[in-house]
Chains A and B, each alone.
Chain A
Amino acid sequence: MSQVFFENLTGANCHLSGQAIVALRVSEDVDADYDTASVVCIAPGGPHAKGAVVTTTEGGTSTGQWEVEDPIISQSGEKTWRRKDGSVNYAHIPLVSYKLRRAGYMRARSTLSKQVVGADNYPPKFCTMSRFAAITAGLQQLVTDRLIDVFEFQKQRSAWIPVHGAEYIATRIAGWVGLSCSFRARLTHCADEYIPVDKPAISAIREVASWSGASVLLDRSGTLQIFNWQETFGRGGSNPALPAITEYERHDALSSINHVTVVGVTYAPPSTRDVYGNKLWPLEATEQLALASSERIVSERIEIRTYPITPNLAQSLARERLARAYLQGNASRWIGPAEGCQGMRPLENRVLSVTRSLGWNGRAYRYEIAVKAARGAVSFAGSGSSVGGWW
């Protein structure tokens, strides 16, 4: 296939917040925590500072905001010592290489430490309203039994943050780190207790979302989008409909795993709990993909021991894990000219990943896009869960 160059792309419409782009590679992937970009620019005024929020403009169209992770000044006698046209003297071309992360990166990666959540909320201890009622009843029993006094009762009770559901946890965590979030899906399942001490905010929110089979993605403006993974990508048949295609690949691979077991503990029914409202039962949930002929079980075991879970939560977790594994091997990939496709991105276009590259060959830019999208719908063969068994 021939390479495509665009004469109408210039330094005036391909820049990083005013710095002409010499080379750009952007990766927007629904499976990655953050979109990343590496850019080489001509920066006569000096590089953008680390942490600065910058905007990429490709062909006159904004392709989102980024935070500068690492600005690298590159000087080389061989490669950059040049005399600019019209100038008498030699000087280094002001080339700067940037590593960029999607806007919101610094907030999303900040850990839920005492400084971030505040001393009053540390350690962050979330529980459902029903669990809060049980905790309160248990503490009251302790007071009645004179094992703790009223002050200890109030202290222990107020250490918990009761929530109506997982959405409240996600919103609260996002609020602590100053991240705005948008719900494209309801988070229907919630663990009874969740204590995300010193976890990165995005990891904690991703974990909370995964209870309902959902996931998170920082969009181009730095807003955390919470979406149902399987609902968005698991139906298959996505075609990004690029204006022109220079390469096409279609994968139909064996899934890396086809069976997932989630193991944890869950609160026993109230009638079976002890006098303080505590009793945990073991829980196991399994999900399986439809198998190809002669395919054997390849299982993955997910153990959650740090907090109690529910059967529905475990099942959603297993399904999301399986759907991701299945679509990794059952996707199509299109490559073509990127002009006119600047808006193509995961979530908005139901594609799994987008990679754009913009390169300067000395005369013109070469601009290309590669898009990966789900090919076939995920089909599950069976599921099951049991509570109270022994394993």
Chain B
Amino acid sequence: MTVHTHGIEKAAKADSEKLPDVSGTKITYAGGVECQITVTERRNDEPTITAGASVTVGGRTGVCESAQAKLLPQYKLDGAVVWETQHVLAVDGDTV
């Protein structure tokens, strides 16, 4: 079995709103930050996927929000067809 990390995306998102202030200047207030890592892997055997639990994929750990696997028959890896998996991980903290 051969597995390699094919792509990583990081995202941090916060809701923010501006409110009036007696100084006359609007002040920005940010809501909670949501950080995500999307890990794409390619491998040469059929994977089993699941979501909702804490997982480590491509060296990144987080709660799996979604996972999907897709067969890519046009590609071969070590002589076997390629499976591509994509895990969206929610990670704690304000930074990622």
Listed in ascending order, the chain A residues whose CB lies under 8 Å from chain B are 10-15, 18-22, 42, 81-85, 90, 93, 360, 362-363, 365
- Of the listed residues B18, B29, B30, the one surrounded by the most CB atoms of chain A closer than 10 A to its CB is B29
Query: Can you list 23 residue pairs at the A/B interface with Cβ under 8 Å?
Result: A11-B19, A11-B22, A11-B23, A11-B24, A11-B26, A12-B23, A13-B24, A15-B22, A20-B19, A20-B21, A20-B22, A21-B20, A22-B19, A22-B20, A42-B19, A42-B21, A42-B22, A81-B31, A84-B28, A84-B29, A85-B28, A362-B17, A363-B18
Contact (Cβ within 8 A) A18 B29: no
The answer to whether the Cβ of B32 comes within 8 Å of any Cβ in the partner chain is yes
Listed in ascending order, the chain B residues whose CB lies under 8 Å from chain A are 17-32
Give which listed residue, B22, B29, B30, B31, contacts A12 with CB less than 8 A.
Answer: B22
Q: Which residues of A contact B20 (CB under 8 A)?
A: 10-11, 14, 20-22, 42, 360, 365
Q: Which residues of A contact B24 (CB under 8 A)?
A: 10-13
**Cα A68 to Cα B66 with chains together (Å):** 51
With CB as the reference atom, state the residue of chain A lying closest to B17.
Answer: A362
**For the complex, would chain B's binding face be called helix, strand, loop or mixed by DSSP majority?**
strand
With CB as the reference atom, state the residue of chain A lying closest to B28.
Answer: A85
**Cα A327 to Cα B18 with chains together (Å):** 43
A283 to chain B, nearest CB (A): 59
**Cα A82 to Cα B17 with chains together (Å):** 9
With CB as the reference atom, state the residue of chain A lying closest to B23.
Answer: A12
Contact (Cβ within 8 A) A93 B18: no
Give which listed residue, B18, B19, B21, B29, contacts A83 with CB less than 8 A.
Answer: B29
Q: Which residues of B contact A42 (CB under 8 A)?
A: 19-22
Q: Which residues of A contact B28 (CB under 8 A)?
A: 84-85
Give which listed residue, B23, B30, B31, B32, contacts A85 with CB less than 8 A.
Answer: B30
**Cα A18 to Cα B20 with chains together (Å):** 12
Contact (Cβ within 8 A) B30 A83: yes
Q: Which residues of B contact A21 (CB under 8 A)?
A: 20
Q: Which residues of A contact B23 (CB under 8 A)?
A: 11-12
Which 3 pairs, one residue from A and one from B, show the smallest C-beta to C-beta distance? A11-B20, A12-B24, A82-B29
With CB as the reference atom, state the residue of chain A lying closest to B18.
Answer: A362
